[in-house]
Amino acid sequence: MTKADLDPAEIENLWPGYGAAEVKRLIKATRPSSVTRQWGRLSSILTANLGVEYFGATDEAIEAAEASTCRWPTELRELYRCVERADHRRGMLLLPPQFELMPVAQVEKRHEFWVEANRNLAFGRRIDIEAEMAKPAGTAAGAMLPGFIPFANDDADTLFVDARSGPLHGCVNLWPDADVARRPPIWRSLSAMLEDLVFALERNTTMSMRLTGWSRYQPYVEGDRLVWEARA
């Protein structure tokens, strides 16, 4: 995405099924920036308050994961170069209410499960995967597409990056437990997601997150853990 930002008319044309309020939210949402810069801000806060150290994946591991899934958006590669694991699991529970960043090996396993689900009619009605993949990123989908790359989970809820083409290439959405991704993206990019997270921690203010509906979560440190408290 460029500094020209999103065109409201283009968004409405690409996603006619989304309401005006959702289109407006996307237009006004945090813009993409730099994953490396936002992670640098975030990791310094987490290391100081949680006492954890972070380690990035190797280029070889990222390339192998891409080979077994699909071509990753640049920001996803950048994220995993910055962080793939911590010296304690508590450091990976980053997003409200308790989403945990997946290691690269788990990304591959979860993606393969989704691909297998599309092959197996027992998981539901078969859809035209090629037709769904040809739609622009951010479009609602009735199946776990090959271009959906999981990166964080909270039990059966999974956050994924949409690698399809279009003005929202690399956007972040939720694959909810026992449902499908029929809602608009939550964040326009991974860097936007990280910036919202950093803002909440730096300012000690709430962060908005959508599960079944939108909620606000207040972060605080309990012992050596980052905890999110739901607010009305």
Pick from 87, 65, 22: nearest CA to 151: 65
Band (pLDDT 50/70/90 cuts) for residue 4 is: very low
CA distance 15 to 162: 15
Look up the CATH number of domain 17-227. 3.40.1580.10
- Output the DSSP codes for 179-203: S---S--SBSSHHHHHHHHHHHHHH
**Residue-level pLDDT at 121:** 59
**Residue-level pLDDT at 142:** 79
Residue range 111-155, pLDDT digits in tens:
999 888 877 755 556 788 899 999 999 988 878 899 999 999 998
Q: Which residue has the higher pLDDT, 29 or 8?
A: 29
**Residue-level pLDDT at 178:** 56
Task: Say if residue 201's pLDDT is above 70.
Answer: yes
**Residue-level pLDDT at 2:** 43
Segment 192-210 shows an average pLDDT of: 97
Residue range 27-84, pLDDT digits in tens:
889 999 999 999 999 999 999 999 999 999 999 999 999 999 999 999 999 999 999 9
- Burial of 138 (C-beta count, 10 Å sphere; 0-12/13-18/19+): buried
Domain boundaries defined on the chain:
17-227
User: What 8-state DSSP symbol labels residue 120?
Assistant: -
Task: Say if residue 1's pLDDT is above 50.
Answer: no
Residue range 207-217, pLDDT digits in tens:
999 988 899 99
Question: With contact defined as beta carbons under 8 Å apart, do 147 and 164 qualify?
Answer: yes
- Count Cβ atoms below 10 Å from residue 150 Cβ, excluding itself: 21
Band (pLDDT 50/70/90 cuts) for residue 190 is: very high
Task: Say if residue 110's pLDDT is above 50.
Answer: yes
